[in-house]
Amino acid sequence: MQQNIKYKIVLFVLLLGFVFAGTVFAADFTAFTGQINADDINVRVDSTVSSTVVCALSKGQLVEVISEVYDWYKIHLPKAAPSYVKKELVECINNSSAKCSSAKVTGDRVNIRLCPSESSWILGKVDNLTVVNIIQDEGSWYKIEPVHQSYGWVNKKFVNKEIVVPKEDEKPVAALATGGQTTAALQPSEQMVIEGTVSPYGMVLWRKATHKLVTDSKEIYFLKGNRKGLDSLNYHKVKVSGKLISPKNSRYPIIEVAIIEVLN
Domain boundaries, given as residue ranges, for the chain? 28-79+150-160, 84-144, 162-262
| pLDDT score for 193 | 85
| pLDDT score for 11 | 56
- 1.10.10, 2.60.40, 2.40.50, 1.20.81: CATH of 162-262: 2.40.50
Per the document, the length of the chain is: 264
Collect all residues with Cβ–Cβ distance below 8 Å to 25 and sequence separation of at least 6.
none
pTM of the prediction?
Answer: 0.58
User: 42 and 80 in contact (C-beta within 8 Å)?
Assistant: no
Alpha carbon 138 to chain centroid, angstroms:
29
| pLDDT score for 245 | 80
pLDDT along the chain (264 residues), means of 10: 57 53 57 89 96 93 90 93 95 74 90 96 92 91 92 95 60 33 50 85 55 86 79 82 76 79 75
Cα separation, 53 vs 184, in Å, equals 54
Among residues 215, 211, 252, the alpha carbon closest in space to that of 232 is found at 211
Q: Which CATH class is domain 28-79+150-160?
A: mainly beta
Among residues 56, 144, 163, the alpha carbon closest in space to that of 103 is found at 144
